[in-house]
């Protein structure tokens, strides 16, 4: 089987639980670490799927690799190779498909409920709400043909699907060590605690991680059914 290509944009924002999910199922994967200047593939053809992780940058920044990733997303979708985006990754998918990525009304950081949209049973079954992890200040609009999947109190577009492709604004890939690292690395963003931003202690005292990983397993299990070759 061709490997799944995973694109990491920041050292602390790796594949996390997603790579554990693939390893358990013996699905091969290859990491492209943008943060250490790995060269990007020129085409998606050698991979069974493409997965884009988060990062502190904006898709609207003038960074040379952004245009390359946008083209990879378009190439994969044209070849019917499934694409999965987490946070920045979901925003990259939107931009690649002609939608906009703009500032969200507020920063959304910490644990928060997301609501599952009507018509999203293909991805979520009978689940109507769950606690997801959030760390973003921007939001994507929906590309043409997208099926809305998720929303939250502070961000109306938390996820969408287009056929076998899945874009998420929230983070379902979290592990305990990732949460601790983000709270340490992003401590300056956690100073102004408010309704949409939790403190580091509140984030780490929450007990939602097992349920989040159950939901991630459900989503990832559905996504891998579309893997090609």
CA dist., res. 30 & res. 170, Å (int): 23
Sign of CA pseudo-dihedral 90, 94, 97, 101: negative
Q: How many CB atoms lie within 10 A of CB 12?
A: 18
- Mean pLDDT across the stretch 219-224? 98
> Which CATH architecture does the domain made up of 4-224 adopt?
3-Layer(aba) Sandwich (3.40)
The percent of residues above 70 in pLDDT, for the chain, comes to: 100
Strand 159-162 and strand 165-168: the pairing is: antiparallel
pLDDT of residue 136: 98
Average pLDDT over residues 167-189: 97
* 163-185 core/surface letters (b: 16 or more CB in 10 A; e: else): ebbbbbbbbbbbbeebbeebbee
Q: Tell me the pLDDT tens digit for each residue of 33-44.
A: 999 999 999 999
pLDDT tens figures, 7-57: 999 999 999 999 999 999 999 999 999 999 999 999 999 999 999 999 999
Instruction: State the pLDDT at residue 77.
Output: 98
92 is written with which tokens?
């990259």
Give me the residue spans of the domains in the chain.
4-224
Q: What's the rounded mean pLDDT across residues 190-194?
A: 94
| pLDDT (0 to 100) of residue 15 | 98
Strands (E), the chain: 4-8, 29-33, 49-52, 83-86, 101-116, 129-140, 147-152, 159-162, 165-168
Please, which residues have CB within 8 angstroms of residue 60's CB and are 6 or more apart in sequence?
95, 101
User: Average pLDDT in the 78-86 region?
Assistant: 98
Alpha-helical segments (H) within the chain: 17-24, 64-78, 88-96, 121-124, 176-185, 200-205, 209-224
Q: Which residue has the tokens 């592990």?
A: 175
In this structure, are residues 12 and 47 in contact, taking their beta carbons and an 8 Å threshold?
A: no
Confidence of residue 138 (pLDDT cuts 50, 70, 90): very high
Residue 88: which pLDDT band, with cuts at 50, 70 and 90? very high
Interval 147-157: pLDDT, tens: 999 999 999 99
How confident is the model at residue 228, as a pLDDT?
82
Looking at residue 181, what is its pLDDT?
97
Position 126 scores a pLDDT of 94
Beta bridge partners of 101: 140
Task: pLDDT band for 229, please (50, 70, 90 cuts).
Answer: confident
**Average pLDDT score over the chain:** 97
| Angle, CA 180 vertex, CA 177 and CA 182 arms, to 5° | 110
Query: Considering the chain, what percentage of its residues have pLDDT values greater than 90?
Result: 99
DSSP label at residue 188: G
């Amino acid at each position: 089987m061709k490997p799944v290509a995973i694109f990491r944009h920041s050292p602390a924002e790796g594949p996390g639980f997603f790579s554990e999910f693939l390893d358990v199922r013996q699905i091969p994967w290859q990491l492209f670490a943008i943060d250490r200047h790995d060269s990007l593939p020129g085409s998606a053809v050698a991979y069974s799927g493409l997965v884009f992780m988060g990062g502190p940058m904006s898709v609207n920044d003038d960074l040379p690799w952004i245009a390359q990733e946008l083209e990879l997303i378009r190439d994969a979708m044209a070849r019917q190779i499934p694409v999965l985006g987490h946070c920045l990754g979901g925003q990259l998918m939107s931009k690649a498909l002609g939608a906009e990525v703009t500032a969200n009304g507020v920063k959304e950081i910490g644990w928060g409920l997301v609501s599952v949209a009507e018509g999203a049973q293909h991805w979520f079954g009978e689940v109507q709400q769950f606690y997801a992890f959030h760390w973003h200040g921007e939001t994507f609009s929906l590309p043409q043909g997208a099926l809305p999947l998720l929303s939250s109190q502070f961000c109306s577009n938390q996820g969408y699907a287009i056929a076998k492709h899945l874009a998420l604004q929230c983070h379902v890939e979290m592990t305990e060590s990732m949460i601790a690292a983000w709270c340490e690395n992003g401590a300056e963003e956690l100073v102004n605690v408010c309704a949409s931003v939790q403190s580091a202690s509140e984030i780490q005292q929450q007990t939602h991680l097992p349920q989040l990983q159950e939901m991630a397993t459900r989503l990832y299990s559905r996504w891998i059914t579309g893997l090609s070759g």
